[in-house]
């Protein structure tokens, strides 16, 4: 009988009845949906930023573990530094999981590894800079770069520098020695770096020309090099001065001191 009575009511009476029973009108539902959408639009950028920050911190932790493995390798191999081109296989016995070689960002997510080792650390002579071959010969280890985020398909040997005809340092063009440039800005227009004393840090690219060069929006690397703080920083952490060498550095027949 109650159901027949409810059907017999007018639409206004039914609506009033539903309101007394705690129901919502269509207008009220639309208001609630709009408020939820507004809150989501406000919170999503913050959540995205938090996710990217988490990826950057996780990546820096990876580099820290790899740097410790790099130091352990040298300890167990008569103080010799591993070859940057084969650092993955060299350090594999000293890491707990293969995922340590991989950054979680979408740009870097692939098989292989996400990091490159400075050519100065066990590499070959480039642009007049002879690499260190033994750990104890690295002077000022807190200022000497070991690992860096690298771009996809770049070489594991990290050397974004070039000495030009005027004996000045410039950014290495992407087309020269493919893969050596290898710079990336996948962590909020910056990258993670680790050093020979074991510490790591995040470096945000400060010069807009550096970011354009990395993204392929600037083709002329020389134009991006003049008075560039990012370039000066990389020269400082990737190269060395003659008075950096310790006392037991070898001197060959050519009279040149070698690390």
The predicted-structure confidence for 79-96, as pLDDT tens digits, reads as follows: 999 999 999 999 999 998
192 or 255, higher pLDDT = 192
Which residue range(s) make up the domain with 76?
52-245
Looking at the domain assignment, is residue 3 inside a domain?
no
Report the domain count for the chain. Answer: 1
Dist. CA 40–CA 48, nearest whole Å: 12
- Strand order in 115-118's β-sheet? 157-158, 115-118, 145-149, 190-195, 200-204
pTM: 0.75
What is the torsional sign of CA 151, 155, 159, 164? negative
On whether residue 25 sits in a domain, the answer given is no
Mean pLDDT of 159-186: 84
Gap between the Cα atoms of 172 and 165, Å rounded? 13
At residue 256 the predicted structure's pLDDT band, cuts being 50, 70 and 90, is very low
* pLDDT higher at 22 or 195: 195
Considering only CA atoms, give the Rg of the chain.
29
Q: Is the pLDDT assigned to residue 52 strictly greater than 80?
A: no
Residue 198, domain member (yes or no): yes
In a domain? residue 14: no
Mapped to the 3 state alphabet, what secondary structure does 183-205 carry?
A: CCCCCCCEEEEEECCCCEEEEEC
- Which segment of 39-48, 90-99, 120-129, 177-186 scores lowest on mean pLDDT? 39-48
Q: What percent of the chain has pLDDT over 70?
A: 74
Query: Please, which pLDDT band fits residue 25 given cuts at 50, 70 and 90?
Result: confident
Predicted local distance difference test score (pLDDT) of residue 14: 55
Q: Which residues of 96-115 are buried (b: 16+ CB within 10 A; e: fewer)?
A: eeeebbbbebeebeeeebbb
In a domain, 146, yes or no: yes
Q: For residues 179 and 150, give the distance between their C-alpha atoms in angstroms, rounded to a whole number.
A: 9
Q: Which residue has the tokens 């979680």?
A: 104
134 assigned to some structural domain: yes
pLDDT of residue 178: 55
Would the pLDDT of 247 be above 50?
no
Distances (CA, A) of 99 to 106, 110, 180: 14, 10, 23
Cα 219 to Cα 155: distance, rounded to the nearest angstrom: 20
Residue 33 pLDDT more than 50? yes
* Residue 20 in domain: no
Could you give the percent of the chain with pLDDT greater than 90? 48
Two structure tokens written together for 211: 């970011």
Whether residue 228 is contained in a domain is answered as: yes
pLDDT confidence of residue 49: 66
- Tell which wins on pLDDT, 251 or 80: 80
Q: Residue 245 has what pLDDT?
A: 47
Q: Give the strand pairing for 145-149 and 190-195.
A: antiparallel
Region 111-127: mean pLDDT is: 90
Task: Report DSSP state, residue 121.
Answer: B
Mean pLDDT value of segment 211-233? 89
Question: How far does CA 226 lie from the centroid of its chain?
Answer: 24
């Amino acid at each position: 009988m109650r159901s027949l009575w409810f059907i017999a009511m007018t639409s206004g009476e039914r609506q009033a009845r539903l309101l007394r029973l705690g129901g919502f009108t269509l207008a009220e539902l639309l208001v609630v949906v709009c408020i939820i959408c507004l809150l989501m639009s406000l919170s999503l950028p913050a959540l995205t930023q938090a996710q990217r920050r988490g990826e950057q911190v996780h990546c820096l932790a990876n580099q820290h573990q790899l740097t410790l493995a790099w130091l352990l390798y040298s300890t167990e191999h008569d103080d010799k530094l591993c070859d940057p081109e084969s650092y993955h296989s060299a350090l594999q016995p000293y890491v707990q999981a293969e995922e340590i070689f991989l950054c979680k960002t979408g740009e870097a997510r692939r098989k292989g590894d996400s990091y490159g080792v400075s050519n100065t650390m066990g590499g070959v002579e480039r642009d007049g800079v002879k690499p260190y071959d033994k750990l104890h010969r690295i002077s000022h280890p807190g200022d000497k770069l070991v690992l860096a985020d690298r771009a996809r398909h770049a070489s594991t040997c990290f050397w974004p520098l070039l000495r030009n005809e005027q004996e000045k340092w410039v950014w290495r063009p992407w087309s020269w020695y493919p893969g050596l440039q290898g710079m990336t800005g996948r962590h909020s227009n910056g990258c993670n770096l680790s050093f020979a004393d074991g510490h790591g840090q995040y470096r945000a690219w400060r010069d807009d020309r550096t970011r354009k060069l990395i993204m392929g929006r600037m083709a002329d690397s020389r134009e991006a090099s003049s008075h560039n703080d990012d370039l000066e920083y990389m020269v400082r952490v990737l190269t060395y001065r003659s008075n950096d060498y310790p006392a037991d550095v070898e001197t060959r027949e050519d009279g040149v001191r070698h690390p």
